[in-house]
Amino acid sequence: MDTYDCDFFVVGAGSGGVRASRMAAARGASVIVAEGGALGGTCVNLGCIPKKLYSHAAHYAELFEESVGFGWAPHEPSFDWPKLKARRAAEIARLNGVYDNLLANAGVRLVRGWARLADAHTVVVRHESGAENRFTARHILLATGGRPQAPSGAGADSAVTSDDMFDLDPFPRRLVVVGGGYIACEFASIFAGLGSEVTLVHRGPRLLRGFDDEVAAFAAAEMQKKGLTLRLNAMVTSVRRLGGAQVVQLSDGATVEADTVLQATGRAAFTEGLGLEALGITLHADGTVPVDEHFNTVVPSVHAIGDLVGHKALTPVALAEAMVLVDRLFGDGTRPPLDYDTIATAVFTHPNIGTVGKSEERARKDHGDVRIFRAEFKALKHTLSDSTERTLMKIVVDAATDRVLGMHMVGADAGEVIQGFAVAVQAGLTKAQIDRTIGIHPTVAEEFVTMREPVR
């Protein structure tokens, strides 16, 4: 086929899909994007944005308490869950409109409906009415993201997923969270801060697999200081109804009553209904779509990015992958590939976790001889607040080259602190350069430039 309806057809108007659509259009491509759900994808609607808003909300209770140490005498605060939900919904609706305008202003045609691939150059979009339209495209991009794994096992029929947490009715006074990843830990922290009695149940011996061991253990200890109950090496064996409550029986012998049980045991790539098997695209064992280093599938005209391919399930990663792909398809192809080892991330537990680069364990495996610099302390703010919260900061250095392999932090605004250092780590920062940097006093971040002696 020599002519197509468009140069670029994008399936999914989440972060990666919208960025790819806009940037391709800016380079002169004719672009159509199909989306059957809310614009902005998981990040805007059910992930990063609403979760961070709720995290902000959850901090206020302890801020009211801490203010007493600074001379304030606040009135007894009360929390209005319906108001928070309404305010969040209004902000998300505004952002949905922003995404709509971004596409329109870029000259991208938005088609509302769910898409499937009929062949290597044809997409069929099924609308809410049931009607279907066919479109042909020179290139097709799959950017459908991921979604929570469906609850399974004991109590699955009454459990909720992370998608349900923003609009629970009523507010759960008692919450059981099942899982040990960042989503489980974040929601456990958020609802504990909002006033829920939270029990976090994880089948493994530690939280946050894949993160630095010391960081994960430190964060878990700090989370428990906030009133969260942590049960490791435990599983839900049964759930029964008792009035309006769920009685959760755990494998360690404990019994916990809950108003809501959240199963946050992982996310899966959203490939259902795309028609990939008919095109010869066989998924990985974990359900993600296989692509090469250029984000090509085995079908040359079909590409995939973001959570769908599973390199790192982070919004900025999807955005960056979109830029690399669009530059190759419609630009000069000079944009460098992503360095996944130096991508920074944050976990919005209470306190926050910020990390960039390699964990101590990964660094020892990859490089052998490493030097570890570490500081643990009570932040200046808490000398008057009477809070027992402590901060951990850690630098992992390659002993042979002095290059910084990883930087990690648990503490207030850890993500904000690590973001700045992430630029330097990506650029090849050395420990000597850190040592030559003068700190800003008094700040928490200055501790990173004052660590002189390795602890191991």
Number of CB atoms found within 10 A of residue 407's CB: 26
pTM (2 d.p.): 0.96
- Catalytic: which of 75, 202, 350, 441? 441
pLDDT at 241: 92
Question: Residue 181 and residue 166: Cα distance in Å, rounded?
Answer: 18
How many percent of the chain have pLDDT more than 90? 98
Residue 105: what residue type? N
**Across the strands, what pairs with 125?**
115, 133
Instruction: Enumerate domains of the chain plus CATH numbers.
Output: 6-148+268-330 (3.50.50.60), 156-265 (3.50.50.60), 341-449 (3.30.390.30)
Q: How far is CA 12 from CA 32, 44, 107, 111, 164, in A?
A: 10, 13, 17, 10, 21
Question: Residue 129 and residue 108: Cα distance in Å, rounded?
Answer: 23
pLDDT at 74: 83
pLDDT at 75: 87
Q: pLDDT by residue (tens digit) across 182-212?
A: 999 999 999 999 999 999 999 999 999 999 9
Q: Which two tokens stand for residue 121?
A: 């150059």
Q: pLDDT by residue (tens digit) across 406-441?
A: 999 999 999 999 999 999 999 999 999 999 999 999
Please, are residues 322 and 156 in contact by the beta-carbon 8 Å criterion? no
Please, are residues 137 and 4 in contact by the beta-carbon 8 Å criterion? yes
Q: Helix 15-26 to helix 81-105 angle, to the nearest 10 degrees?
A: 20
Q: pLDDT by residue (tens digit) across 129-151?
A: 999 999 999 999 999 999 999 99
Mean pLDDT of 393-402: 98
Task: Note if 441 is an active site residue.
Answer: yes
Beta strands in 229-326 (DSSP E): 229-231, 236-242, 245-250, 255-258, 260-263, 267-269, 302-304
